[in-house]
Structures are given as C-alpha cells and as structure tokens.
Amino acid sequence: MDYVNAFWVGGLICALVQILMEKTKLLPGRIMVLLVCLGVILGALQLYEPLMEYAGAGASVPLPGFGNTLWKGVKEAVDENGFLGIFMGGFKASAVGISAALIFGYIASLIFQPKMKA
C-alpha cells in the first residue's frame, strides 16, 4: 500500500503542476521556485511532514519535498547556531542530494555524449 500512496500523491503533485503550466503564463523556472517555496511554507506550518509520512517518496522526491528539506535544515541550524543557521542550514540539509545530482549528471554526460542544440 505504501507504493500505491507514493504513486498517487506524487502523480497528483505532478498533475497539478502540469495544469498550472498549461493554464498560466508562468515560466517553468518560476513554477519550480513556487514549488520549493510551497514546500518551505507547508513545512513551517507542519503540514508537509504528515504528508511525507503518508506518501513517502511520493511527497519527498518532488520539489515541495526539497523545500521541506531546506526548511528542516534551516530550522535545526538556527536552533543550534542562532542567526548564522539561516545561511548554512539549507546547504547542510541538501548537500547530499545536490552532490548526487551533479555527480550522476556528469557521469550521464560522459556515457551519452550530449550535443548542443543547433
């Protein structure tokens, strides 16, 4: 049942974003920023954690999950280090995921030899 919940929650998030892209004139980059900010806001309101417990990767993998991770990192760092935690908490919380994306992206570029669009 965990897989089903992850599938339908993640699919619902993606479907809502697709509708947002189709029905508005927002550019994809702005929609991505909106999703990350939404994850931060829902995390701050303590609404995203129950969704992640219910849906697992269906809620933690999309961009709102990244925003929630940033929120948790900043909150923990502020509790430990005060004001300076605002600047370092997000980096500390998301470093592994960002590093993995860079490393695997580089490996994929070596394997598949990407070409620039003409």
pLDDT at 98: 87
Beta-carbon neighbour count of residue 49 at 10 Å? 15
What is the rounded end-to-end Cα distance, in angstroms, of the chain?
A: 46
Which residues 6+ apart lie within 8 Å of 85 measured at CB?
74, 76, 77, 78, 79
* pLDDT computed for residue 8 by the predictor: 94
Give the tens place of pLDDT for each residue, 22-40. 999 888 889 999 999 999 9
On average, the pLDDT of the chain sits at: 90
Residue 109: the pLDDT is 87
Report the pLDDT value the prediction gives residue 33, as an integer from 0 to 100: 93
Positions in the chain whose pLDDT score sits under 70: 118
